A and B are shown apart, each in its own frame.
Chain A
Amino acid sequence: GAVVSQHPSWVICKSGTSVKIECRSLDFQATTMFWYRQFPKQSLMLMATSNEGSKATYEQGVEKDKFLINHASLTLSTLTVTSAHPEDSSFYICSAPRGVDTQYFGPGTRLTVL
């Protein structure tokens, strides 16, 4: 079946540094990918829609200069958390739709900012 991978699975960084998270669709092409943020015991909050070859679409309240998204190819989208601070610590999940009714989720990335 279709698989979406994320790298890294866990990252610890110092406050003020930038962190890049990769999301790859392994056996299908995805012109669109979605990025979510999830706090413990809470739901997934959509941050942005990543579009191959064009700018990402950000949800209201999400700082686009803080969370840079680049959809470089039909199988890769990256989320860069710039100048990370402890409040950015969270679990980040990507998903990629295949067909009209199925989305495949990555395993998530746990970000801890010290």
Chain B
Amino acid sequence: AQTVTQSQPEMSVQEAETVTLSCTYDTSESDYYLFWYKQPPSRQMILVIRQEAYKQQNATENRFSVNFQKAAKSFSLKISDSQLGDAAMYFCAYQLTGANSKLTFGKGITLSVRP
């Protein structure tokens, strides 16, 4: 079975600084997707970034980028120029390729941003 581990329950970053959120996962599959989701206080799940395992290039979305290390099964999220609106709970998630595959979530990390 696939597992996703987020070992840091909380992190804090100064506004405008950079922060990295860690995630490791375990799978015997070679083709899959990895995601970072943001859940603000409204509790609406928001997709932050997506990485396809067969792509070696790390995904980026504006201030958000990932460091995907397939061999190490590591998938960290870097948030640059942190903003107050980045404060939220962040979940790392894994999904096998294929239609209608389910997501496996990590425990999540609560990120606070200091003004």
> B residues within 8 A CB of A54?
none
Once the chains bind, are A101 and B50 in contact (CB under 8 Å)?
A: yes
Once the chains bind, are A108 and B43 in contact (CB under 8 Å)?
A: yes
Once the chains bind, are B33 and A105 in contact (CB under 8 Å)?
A: no
Once the chains bind, are B43 and A41 in contact (CB under 8 Å)?
A: no
Q: With A101-B50, A101-B95 in contact, is A32–B100 under 8 Å at CB?
A: yes
- B23 vs chain A, min Cβ distance (A): 12
B25 at the interface (CB under 8 A from A): no
- A97 vs chain B, min Cβ distance (A): 5
Once the chains bind, are B97 and A100 in contact (CB under 8 Å)?
A: yes
Q: Which of B12-20, B68-76, B105-113 contacts A (4 or more CB under 8 A)?
A: B105-113
- A5 vs chain B, min Cβ distance (A): 11
> B residues within 8 A CB of A32?
99-100
Total number of A residues with any Cβ neighbor in B under 8 Å:
22
Tell me the interface secondary structure of chain B in the complex: loop
Q: Which of B41-97 contact A (CB under 8 A)?
A: 42-45, 47, 50, 52, 89, 91, 95, 97
Kindly state the interface size class of chain B when it binds its partner.
Answer: 20 to 34
Once the chains bind, are B100 and A31 in contact (CB under 8 Å)?
A: yes
Once the chains bind, are B102 and A49 in contact (CB under 8 Å)?
A: yes
**Known pairs A91-B43, A103-B95, A105-B44. 17 more at Cβ < 8 A?**
A34-B102, A38-B43, A41-B108, A43-B91, A43-B106, A43-B108, A44-B45, A44-B105, A46-B102, A93-B45, A97-B100, A97-B101, A99-B99, A100-B98, A101-B33, A107-B44, A108-B44
Using a CB–CB cutoff of 8 Å, the interface residues on chain A facing chain B are: 31-32, 34, 38, 41-44, 46, 49, 91, 93, 95, 97, 99-103, 105, 107-108
List 25 interface pairs A-B (beta carbons < 8 Å), by A numbering: A31-B100, A32-B99, A32-B100, A34-B102, A34-B103, A41-B108, A41-B110, A43-B106, A43-B107, A43-B108, A44-B91, A44-B103, A44-B105, A46-B103, A49-B100, A93-B45, A95-B45, A97-B100, A100-B98, A100-B101, A101-B52, A101-B95, A101-B97, A107-B43, A108-B43
